[in-house]
């Protein structure tokens, strides 16, 4: 496995112009795509113009008018495998602009960082991926396969009008997938998936002056939740994965009761259960139900319901020994001059929509995941350039079948 860069590879990487990469990310940041409404038109326009100027054809595709995605393909042999670089073009909202030290839509540079909403999540990855294709085009390389880019909409609101639609409609059918999300330029090969579960606990309403006539659903819920915290959380923490945190249950939202002088007869808790590979929605719900039943046996009758809606995708859990993973780790080592351990991605990416396809998937991108969705979001310029270099080298090596 190659560790250093060959002379040809060094020459190839010289086609990357760092000030141009920085300028391109700044342009992406000025093209707002924040929620609401998460309109990606301006970003897609910036991306398609950049690709077109380098002679790379792309097409827009959309399920809903305000949320176009873009798919581009580097001209190359149609016979080989398809490697897809994927990044999302939408961002979360900026919140209160007064809280920001820099204009979230200005792409300002300070202290070696570029600031802005989406600097890391996910326009840093998008910029690096697009510039990688541009660099390969300028170098005039020939690839033995298809190198595609998907700049997708709708990631921050669930992906149903973005990646899931592109996948299910057959517009994206990669053999190998690299999802650009913030991994601090580490190669991540696994992630947990989110599963929303609602717990509804029932009581009996009564006048607030005579609470003994009723069954207070809010109090029952409070007790049931602390039972879950005591019993379930330690159970979850015992489950381990080499690259991921243990599975979790987060209590996200609680709603119950109608007004102060009525004993509430219903309380609903919206929960976020992050599943490790091997866990399922059914197993997670059964586990909660078993503990609630155990609790009910000790206390007053507990009437409850557990529901879960929406599709739960599969986990990304690409084996360490997959040649695609090994090649990525080697290319990264060649680019950054040090060996970096493989990692897991703590959040959940659009890669999950491909996870059941049995293709190798890695998650890789510049930026610190802790800064995503936060005020003063920023990306290190050093990481941005390093990521671009990696994406050029990796695509070139993988699609010229060198290892
Ligand atoms: Zn993201």
Q: Tens digits of per-residue pLDDT, 225-246?
A: 999 999 999 999 999 999 999 9
Which helix (H) or strand (E) covers residue 325, if one does? helix 323-336
Taking residues 137-142, report their average pLDDT. 95
Angle at 270 between CA 269 and CA 276, to 5 degrees: 125
Alpha-carbon distance 311 to 305, whole Å? 19
Q: What is the mean pLDDT of the chain?
A: 96
Task: Give, as one character, the DSSP assignment of residue 262.
Answer: B
Non-local CB neighbours of 86 within 8 Å, separated by 6+ positions: 149, 150, 152, 163, 172, 177, 178, 179, 180, 350, 351
* Pairing state between β 82-88 and 146-152: parallel
Taking residues 169-194, report their average pLDDT. 97
pLDDT of 93 reads 97
Alpha helices in 199-322 (DSSP H): 217-237, 281-298
Q: What confidence tier does 76 reach under pLDDT thresholds 50, 70, 90?
A: confident
Ligand 1 mean position to 43 CA, how many Å? 15
Interval 101-115: pLDDT, tens:
999 999 999 999 999
Alpha-carbon distance 75 to 86, whole Å? 17
Ligand 1 mean position to 365 CA, how many Å? 10
Ligand 1 mean position to 172 CA, how many Å? 19
Ligand 1 mean position to 82 CA, how many Å? 23
Please list the residues that pair with 275 across neighbouring strands.
193
pLDDT of 3 reads 77
Contact 151, 69 (CB under 8 A): yes
Taking residues 27-38, report their average pLDDT. 97
In the block, residue with structure tokens 């717990």: 199
* CA atoms within 13 A of residue 141's CA, in its CB half-sphere: 27
Ligand 1 mean position to 224 CA, how many Å? 34
SS (H, E, C) 109-141: EECCEEECCCCCCCHHHHHHHHHHHHHHHHHCC
Task: Name the residues around ion ligand 1, CB cutoff 5 A.
Answer: 121-122, 181
Contact 343, 337 (CB under 8 A): no
pLDDT of 403 reads 42
Taking residues 136-148, report their average pLDDT. 95
Ligand 1 mean position to 99 CA, how many Å? 21
Ligand 1 mean position to 122 CA, how many Å? 5
Alpha-carbon distance 154 to 162, whole Å? 5
Ligand 1 mean position to 144 CA, how many Å? 30
Angle at 210 between CA 205 and CA 212, to 5 degrees: 75
Q: How many residues does the chain have?
A: 403
Ligand 1 mean position to 180 CA, how many Å? 8
pLDDT of 211 reads 97
pLDDT surpassing 80 at residue 73: yes
% of the chain surpassing 90 pLDDT: 94
Ligand 1 mean position to 317 CA, how many Å? 18
Ligand 1 mean position to 386 CA, how many Å? 19
Interval 246-300: pLDDT, tens:
999 999 999 999 999 999 999 999 999 999 999 999 999 999 999 999 999 887 7
Query: Rg of the chain over CA atoms, in angstroms?
Result: 24
pLDDT of 1 reads 53
């Amino acid at each position: 496995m190659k560790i250093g860069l060959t002379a040809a590879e060094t020459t190839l990487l010289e086609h990357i112009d760092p000030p141009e990469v920085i300028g391109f990310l700044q342009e992406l940041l000025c093209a707002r795509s924040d929620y609401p409404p998460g309109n990606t038109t301006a970003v897609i326009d910036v991306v398609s113009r950049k690709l077109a100027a380098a002679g790379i054809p792309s097409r827009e595709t959309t399920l809903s008018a305000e949320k176009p995605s873009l798919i581009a393909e580097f001209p190359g042999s149609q016979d080989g495998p398809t490697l897809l670089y994927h990044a999302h073009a939408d961002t979360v909202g900026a919140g209160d602009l007064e809280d920001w030290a820099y204009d979230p839509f200005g792409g300002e540079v300070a202290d070696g960082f570029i600031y802005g909403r989406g600097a890391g999540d996910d326009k840093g990855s998008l910029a690096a991926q697009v510039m990688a294709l541009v660099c390969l085009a300028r170098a005039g390389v020939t690839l033995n396969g298809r190198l595609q880019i998907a700049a997708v909409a709708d990631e921050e609101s669930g992906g149903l009008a973005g990646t899931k639609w592109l996948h299910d409609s057959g517009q994206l059918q990669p053999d190998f997938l690299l999802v650009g999300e913030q991994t601090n330029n580490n190669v991540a090969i696994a992630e947990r998936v989110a599963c929303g579960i609602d717990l509804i606990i029932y009581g009996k309403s009564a006048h607030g002056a005579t609470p003994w006539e009723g069954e207070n659903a809010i109090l029952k819920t409070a007790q049931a939740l602390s039972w879950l915290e005591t019993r379930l959380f330690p159970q979850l923490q015992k489950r381990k994965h080499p690259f991921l945190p243990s599975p979790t249950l987060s209590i996200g939202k609680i709603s119950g009761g109608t007004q102060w002088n009525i004993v509430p007869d219903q309380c609903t808790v919206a929960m976020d259960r992050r599943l490790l590979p091997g866990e399922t929605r059914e197993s997670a719900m059964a586990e909660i139900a078993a503990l609630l039943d155990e609790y009910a046996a000790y206390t007053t009758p507990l009437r409850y319901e557990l529901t879960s809606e929406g599709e739960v995708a599969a986990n990304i859990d690409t084996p360490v020994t997959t040649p695609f993973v090994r090649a990525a780790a080697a290319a990264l080592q060649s680019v950054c001059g040090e060996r970096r351990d493989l990692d897991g991605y703590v959040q959940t990416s659009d890669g999950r929509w491909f996870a059941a396809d049995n293709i190798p998937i890695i998650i890789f991108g510049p930026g610190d995941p802790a800064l995503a969705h936060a005020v003063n979001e920023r990306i290190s310029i050093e990481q941005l350039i390093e990521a671009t270099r990696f994406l050029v080298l990796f695509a070139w090596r993988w699609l010229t079948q060198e290892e």
